Amino acid sequence: DAKTTQPPSMDCAEGRAANLPCNHSTISGNEYVYWYRQIHSQGPQYIIHGLKNNETNEMASLIITEDRKSSTLILPHATLRDTAVYYCIVRGLIQGAQKLVFGQGTRLTINP
């Protein structure tokens, strides 16, 4: 699996958009970009994933650059409950190699 690079921490004001960057310059053509978050010591929560097109769901938007070497997770209106560690993960879907490999993630703090 390709490695990812994320800033260790970020702050964002409540109500503003939180933009979390991720670099994955060694991503290969059949690897997806996944985002998960872990709130305090709860189980990780799936947020969104994409291959090359931008994606949006009820939680967030995922913007992937055209060369696929980086992406940005956008939480459009951050709330205090969005404070968590956010993980950007590159995942291949070759049978037998479909686990998620977590890095250190970005600790996002939403401030009132």
Kindly list the residues in this chain that would bind other proteins in the complex (CB under 8 A): 34, 38, 41-46, 49, 93, 95-105
Residue 36 Cβ, how far from other proteins at the closest point, in Å?
A: 8
Residue 89 Cβ, how far from other proteins at the closest point, in Å?
A: 10
Of residues 43 and 112, the one with the C-beta less far from other proteins: 43
Residue 15 Cβ, how far from other proteins at the closest point, in Å?
A: 28
Of residues 40 and 66, the one with the C-beta less far from other proteins: 40
Please provide residue 58's backbone torsions phi and psi, each rounded to the nearest 5 degrees: -70, -15
Establish how many alpha carbons lie within 13 A of residue 66's alpha carbon, considering only the half-sphere containing its beta carbon. Answer: 0
Of residues 77 and 98, the one with the C-beta less far from other proteins: 98
